[in-house]
Structure 1
Amino acid sequence: MVAECYRPVLRDGAAKAPGTVLASPTVRVLYVLRHAKSDWSAMYGGVDHERPLNSRGLKAARTMGRKLAHRQALPDRILCSSAVRTRQTSELAVAAGNWNRTTILEPALYLASPGSVVDLLRDQADEANSILIVGHQPTCAELVRRLTGDDPPRFVTAAVACVHLDIASWSEVEPYCGRLAWFSTPLSED
């Protein structure tokens, strides 16, 4: 089971015993969505940033939007890489899931390191209890690994990870502050 992998770590770096609960009653939720399948043969001028989704990717993005809505996993805020394929993934997921959310384009998410994504999360206002990051590989998997201490399942295109963060404020995001609650792909039966 995915949740059994949680290894909480105290702020001083000492590991806590499995099963112990942190003092904070607040759990923030981070959804990490990899963009859907892109079209390598499309006429996009050879600029990676401009590469669009292919037909499979268009379908997968819609599927993930419906899956998230079915799970009632609707983020309070959506932060999306400025690349065409991530914007399309976000827009299609929002429309298919019938979410009433605005996507905030974050150019820094394109080619971002996990550390820079953590910094971006630390800067988020606490009015949002849940955030969806729409980004790229290998950053998606590395971010989940950094936050949970464990390797996520294979991050195929349009896969999403739900990470529960045991923090009261986004400013407290740090390595090992979370656990992988669930993981879904366009083809998984959930």
Structure 2
Amino acid sequence: MTRTLLLMRHAQAEDGAGTADFDRPLTDRGRAQAEAVGRLLVERGYRPDHVVCSSALRTRQTLEGVLAAMGHEPEVDHTEAAYLAGPESLLELVGYVDPEVNTLLVVGHNPTIAQVASSFVGPEALAAFSPATVASVELEVEWLYAAPGTGTGHILG
């Protein structure tokens, strides 16, 4: 059974002057970007069963915009572990997902999201992951075994 991993970088956030990085909110443009991604996912036929989202404010706000535009309410895990996770740690979080989940959306931060995406898509993903970018990866293994080389992907857009 093929599983779909959607890797999304949060939408554009405020620069954070005077605000802790964890608490940076989205800009108006970022809110529009998040909604545009939700519409894109619907157009492409993606419907996540589950979401792993960094608990930082900008990722939570990004996810809210995406799901509102989709009109969809999957199960969501907000986790601080995704906030500062490196690529291996992020894939470890993916490995904990219930095997019954077919489509997983991960909303996180660069450089980690771009690094994980590039391990499936190719090195061009590193340069292409501006705010609100999404990659789709078709995995040929269960979530527990998700790792570079276990699937192929492309950047949506």
User: What is the TM-score of this pair, normalised by structure 1?
Assistant: 0.77
> In the alignment, what sits opposite 2:122?
150
2:152 aligned residue (179, 183, 186): 179
Q: Which structure has the larger Rg?
A: 1
Partner of 1:20 in structure 2? none
- Alpha-carbon displacement from aligned partner over 1:103-126 (angstroms, at most 9, x marks no partner): 220110001100001111111110
Q: Which residue of 1 aligns with 2:98?
A: 125
- Counterpart Cα distance in 1 of 2:76 and 2:29: 22
Q: How many residues align?
A: 155
What is aligned with 1:164? 138
| Corresponding position of 1:58 | 31
Distance in 1 (CA, whole Å) between partners of 2:83 and 2:148 is 21
How far off its partner does 1:87 sit? 0.1
- Corresponding residue number in structure 2 for 1:38: 13
Q: Percent identity?
A: 37
Q: Which runs of 5+ in 2 are unaligned?
A: none
Question: How far did 1:145 drift?
Answer: 2.2
Please name the residue that 1:116 is paired with.
89
CA separation in 1, counterparts of 2:20 and 2:28? 20
SS of 2:128's equivalent in the other structure is coil
Q: 1:135 aligns with which of 89, 108, 115?
A: 108
Q: Which has the higher helix share?
A: 2
More strand by share: 2
- Structure 2 match to 1:79: 52
CA RMSD in angstroms, aligned pairs only: 1.5
User: Equivalent residue of 1:131, what SS?
Assistant: strand
What's the offset of the Cα at 1:41? 5.5
User: What is the deviation of 1:46?
Assistant: 2.2
From 45, 49, 57, give the equivalent of 2:22: 49
- Superposed, 1:1-12 pairs within 5 Å as none
Distance 1:121 1:59, change over 3 A: same
List structure 1 runs of 4+ shifted beyond 3 angstroms. none
Q: TM-score normalised to the size of structure 2? A: 0.92
Say whether 1:104 aligns with 2:68: no
